Each structure stands twice: as structure tokens, then as C-alpha cells.
Amino acid sequence: MNTQLPRVLVVDDDASHARVVAVGLRVEGFDVRLTHNADEALSILALEPFDAAVVDLMLPGTNGIQLARLVRERHPCTRVVLTSAYHLSERQLVRADCGAVGFVPKPFDLGELARFLRAKLSTVDPDHPFAPPGAAA
């Protein structure tokens, strides 16, 4: 039995919000690391594997959509969930072509975010760009 906790990278420039999300996801059974900008996130992802990244849409510099595209290119097994106080529809998310598996509007309930992450991590679509190698087998 695999008892390894799902690994999640939280990327949010609001340090207090990032800490709250990290603590909440830890309580919900995730192994969480947090960072506050896209450059740090990419550096961490280059050194450590993550199952998912919860990324704020409105990051300074490289924004959340740009970061999601970079994660898709460099770390295709890491699923990205975007968050923001600004609404982003499913259609806008698809049109952004950033590879994000979903969007969760702020403010959100941490239990709902955890359930959303679990659902996205348990679904394996072999044709999805985030499918692990060999998922079709």
C-alpha cells in the first residue's frame, strides 16, 4: 500500500494567504510546499516532483497562466489548478491553452479545494497533457 501523501506546490504572492492554504491542505492530508513567485516555483519544480500546483492567477512578473504553460512544458506530470479572486470561466481557461486542469475562485473553502485536488489527481486521462507516462497501458 502506497502511503505517500500527494505533493502540492502552492504559488501565491500573498504570503499570509499562501500559509493558510498550505496549512489547510496539510490538515487535509497533502504534503505541501509553498512559494511566492513563478521563478521560485520553477526552481523548486526542477528539483522536486509534485503531483499538483495551486497557482494564483495574478502573480507579479510571470503570471499564473504563463507559469501553467511553463509547468506543462517542463513538468507535464504536475497538474496545475489556477486560483484567483477574478473569475475565469471554463471557456476562458480552455482558450488560454495553458494546460491547467481547473480553476477555483477565491475565496474558497479549503476542504472543497482538497476534494477538487483529489478528484483531479485520481483521474487519469491518457490523452491529457498531464497524464503520467504509460497511463494508456
Tell me which residue of 104, 107, 125, 106 sits closest to 115, measured CA to CA: 104
Our measurement of the distance from residue 36's CA atom to the centroid of its chain's CA atoms, rounded to an integer in Å, reads 13
CATH number of the domain within which 26 lies: 3.40.50.2300
Smallest CA-to-CA distance from 49 within 126, 124, 132, 136 is with 132
Q: Which structural domain, as residue segments, surrounds residue 84?
A: 7-119
As a whole number, mean pLDDT of residues 78-101 equals 87
Which has the higher per-residue pLDDT, 132 or 120? Answer: 120
Quote the number of domains for the chain: 1
In a domain, 78, yes or no: yes
Run of H or E residues at 28: none
Q: Which of 72-86, 107-121, 122-136 has the lowest mean pLDDT?
A: 122-136
Q: Summarize pLDDT for 38-85 with one digit per residue, the tens.
A: 999 999 999 999 999 999 999 999 999 999 999 999 999 999 999 998
Q: Is residue 93 part of a domain?
A: yes
